[in-house]
Amino acid sequence: MSRTFPTERTVILTGAASPRGIGRATAFHLAELGWNVGIIDVDGEAAAQTAAELAEAHGVRAVGVGANVADREQAVAAVDALEAQLPQIVAVVNFAGVSSPVPYLEVTPEEWHRVESINLDGVHWITQRVARTLAGNGVGRIVGISSVSAQRGGGTFSKTPYSASKAGVIGLMRSIARELGPLGVTANVISPGPIDTDIMGGTLTEERKTAMAADGVLSRIGTPTDIAAAVAYLISEDAGFVTGQTLNVDGGLYMH
């Protein structure tokens, strides 16, 4: 069984159709590097449109499908559909997520379930389905997206349900790394700090950017391209000896 990458390889990205999101920026960055791209987004129309733009811009094969990743049947069906139309799946990156600024003492059962089901259950269902293919082929890369909020206990736009779900992603990926390592599959986490996207509660003003940057050691907040570059490394063939790790891309906000 070969542990090397196939010439034609596909990466699946969840939550990659938002106009100003990290996932979309990563999709274009990876397509530029020659990856074929499968997009799963709750907005199926936007996923298909993004895929069409990727194919036109970079000449790769790209397909977009709609699914609520928190629903196991939808998640599995989405991966099935992408696998049927694209070259060998080699990597999956879980961007799909929701924020939650609700104070802890006001968190309802509905809010808790909404956040955990998308941010943790959804990562699990997509990853498990893709992992069956990766393990079967003997080569693969899995990336979960956590948050500095999980490591510092909040302190960003989102609060406790979000921090708990993103901490869960770290534990999930470490355990997957241990179980699937012997099968040629790595699993890692990227933990962004404040990034200039709309998940922070709307488009950021220059004042908010400055305030957010003040906690770190660099004089700016992150951009989607900062995260895209980190993803490109972790899913690359060269990163085959890196697994079970959390890569903080946060301007020095959290050092560990």
Strand order in the sheet with 62-66: 62-66, 36-41, 10-14, 89-94, 140-145, 185-192, 246-249
Structure tokens at 23: 């996932």
If we measure between CA atoms, which residue out of 95, 180, 189 comes closest to residue 139? 180
Length of the chain: 256
162 is catalytic: yes
Q: Which of 57, 58, 69 is nearest to 13 (CA)?
A: 69
3-state secondary structure 194-247: CECCHHHCCCCCHHHHHHHHCCCCCCCCECHHHHHHHHHHHCCHHHCCCCCCEE
Q: Answer whether 78's CB lies under 8 Å from 67's CB.
A: yes
- Which one of the listed residues 104, 162, 233, 254 is annotated catalytic? 162
Nearby residues of 99 by Cβ (< 8 Å), 6 or more positions away: 157, 158, 162, 199, 200, 201
The answer to whether 54 and 10 are in contact (CB under 8 A) is: no
DSSP state of 106: G
* Amino acid in the structure at residue 204: L
Catalytic residues: 162
